[in-house]
Structure 1
Amino acid sequence: MRRLLFLNGIKAFEAAARSGSFAAAGSELNVSAAAISRMVNLLEQRLGVVLFERKANRLALTAAGRAYQSGLTPIFDALSSLTAQIMAPSSMRVLTLGVGPTFAMKWLIPRLADFSTVEPDIEVRITTGGAAVPFGDDWSCGIRLGDGAWPGLVAEPLFAADLVPVCTPRLAATLKRPSDLKGPTLLRVSHAAEDWPLWLKTAGVTRVTARGTEFQYYGHALQAAIDGLGVAMGIRPYIDDDLAAGRLVAPFALTVPKGERWYLVYRSFQAGQRDFTAFRRWIMRAAAQSATRNSQRRDSIKKDATM
């Protein structure tokens, strides 16, 4: 027989552990902070275990509290997702994807028509995501650039994040070697200040510093490069379609690993849900196809560079 001890207390504890305070948990559950504190105290008494260390300005989980919360949060997430599915109209199949704006614009959206052909009954909803944005409660999955270590999430690699300078064919014709690059023409991305120094160091260029226009997103810098403003640091897979269409070219054969990868991220309970499974199967195949084309393109660039 299943034994559930004081479910309201369990909910109060999980919300407080996840949010870090009784006040935030109370706001989430529409009760007072004092009520949350009382329910957690009663839960601790019934369990015979201390879950929180009460400190002056914050709560700190004990070892038992951390273990309990790490198991409870996925259970409540799964329950929330299941409830949403049951409440949705039977004809509605929705997959919500958290993804950064440049990834959505430069890689995902141009390929969504193919997914719609394969799975016409699934509606994909795209919301702003990225490594700096918390994984949304309503997300089915997300796509993130990083090291793959996101607590509470499964992370499956999609792409290597390789760096390569890109520009218009006209500008590329003036660049015979990396030392021809000039700082004022090197377009920058504010949150990726390490990209140009990493590539230039690997290329053996020591007297060039990127001083070109700075943009908030890679997508803005790449569009500026397409418009002839300068040389942008391209990151795969953002540049795949622009290179294939000839809007941009890579004037040098050298590509440098950024030190991070792109991952499909999701909560473990999603693995058994059919719409997510369909999307996962599709994006894994699409990512593999992109990797094959990139490898062929790199081989072609290297061959042209040696001729």
Structure 2
Amino acid sequence: MRDALPPLSCLSAFEAAARYCSFTQAGSELNLSQSAISRQIKRLERDLGRLLFERHYEGLRLTPAGEQYFRVVQRLLRDLGDETARLRRRGDDRQLTLASSPTIASIWLARQLPDFQRAYPHIEIRILTVEDPHRLDLAEFDLGIYYHVPNEVDPPGLIAEAIFEHELVSAVCSPIYLERHGVLDPAQLLTDHTLMVVEDHYHDWLTWETWYRALGLDWQPPVHTLRANSFQLLMNATLAGQGVTLGWMRLLDAELDQKNLVQALPHAIPSRGRLSLFTPQHRHLTEPMRAFRQWVLKTS
């Protein structure tokens, strides 16, 4: 039938390609090759009888027809995803999907969940780890746990409620590292030691330079760094004795109590970001969502 809708695979490929203006990036997101995305787009263009992209020396650009179609397809796919997730959740009212960064999930959340599961043994927990909450698909999770800087790091469509109202940020390292290097001081830290540096715009509100200047300490770019776009990787490197990182003291309570980490310096500043519970706006709160929200905010 001529009036039949195009295949969903073609629409998904088009939506991703239009969002990135790149067949390669769309393929990476959908786990397809660049040529597979190109074939899906050509099939869709033949079906519609319209060009959706202009190919030129700078890359891809949507045609006017493509721009209009993209807005419609993106809205419909989002609505379809939301409704699918809603029906799946209704099909299993016992399941609770929690989104969090790998670091928070492994260092803090995993240690807290046994208490919650003892209180609510009928609730099935599923954890989704995504480093940056801006990359979350609101249809894929129920609640999130991330650090939140009010009015600065506000992922769209989410309501943030602080779990920790107050928290300090300090330089931490492993006991092995401290034993190996002896007493540290702020000036030597920048010249003689390895500092962990997160290369991620979401964490730009907490940097070594910010920390030094907030304490009124002399700052210069560190001589030795270990850089990564994953805070979890850097935290694991810190635990393994490879250097010094900035850490939230309440988040790291258990690691500090168990002497897996120690303060490298006595200095600390109040954290601008607070560990927070993220709730998708306009989401019907299921019984597991209500139970976890009450538990995590009450037991902070």
TM range (shorter): 0.5 to 0.7
For residues 137-286 of structure 1, what are the structure 2 equivalents within 5 Å? 137-145=139-147, 147-151=152-156, 153-158=157-162, 159=164, 162-168=168-174, 171=178, 174-175=182-183, 178-191=186-199, 195-206=207-218, 208-214=220-226, 216=228, 217-250=230-263, 251-257=265-271, 259-286=272-299
Deviation at 1:100, TM superposition (A): 1.7
| Kept in 2: contact 1:94–1:124 (CA 8 A) | yes
For residues 70-85 of structure 1, what are the structure 2 equivalents within 5 Å? 75-85=79-89
Deviation at 1:154, TM superposition (A): 1.5
Which residue is 2:131 aligned to? Answer: 130
Deviation at 1:187, TM superposition (A): 2.6
Separation in 2, partners of 1:268, 1:73: 19
Distance 1:40 1:112, change over 3 A: farther
Helix, strand or coil at the partner of 2:262:
coil
* Structure having greater relative contact order (Cα 8 Å, sep ≥ 6): 2
| Kept in 1: contact 2:194–2:226 (CA 8 A) | no
Helix, strand or coil at the partner of 2:88:
helix
Which residue is 1:295 aligned to? Answer: none
Separation in 1, partners of 2:233, 2:143: 25
Separation in 2, partners of 1:155, 1:70: 23
Deviation at 1:199, TM superposition (A): 1.4
Deviation at 1:189, TM superposition (A): 2.9
Helix, strand or coil at the partner of 1:120:
coil
Percent identity among equivalent residues? 22
Separation in 1, partners of 2:83, 2:242: 51
Separation in 2, partners of 1:84, 1:208: 53
* More helix, by proportion: 1
Return the letter of the residue paired with 1:249. V
Return the letter of the residue paired with 1:138. E
The count of aligned residue pairs is 265
Separation in 1, partners of 2:80, 2:129: 23
Return the letter of the residue paired with 1:142. G
Separation in 1, partners of 2:223, 2:96: 41
Return the letter of the residue paired with 2:169. L
Deviation at 1:279, TM superposition (A): 2.1
Q: CA RMSD in A?
A: 4.7
**Gapped regions of structure 2 (runs ≥ 5):** 31-39
Separation in 2, partners of 1:198, 1:76: 43
Helix, strand or coil at the partner of 2:121:
coil
Which residue is 1:109 aligned to? Answer: 110
**Gapped regions of structure 1 (runs ≥ 5):** 1-5, 42-52, 290-307
Which residue is 2:33 aligned to? Answer: none
**TM-score using structure 2 length:** 0.64
Deviation at 1:224, TM superposition (A): 4.2
Return the letter of the residue paired with 1:156. A
Deviation at 1:165, TM superposition (A): 0.6
**TM-score using structure 1 length:** 0.62
Return the letter of the residue paired with 1:197. E
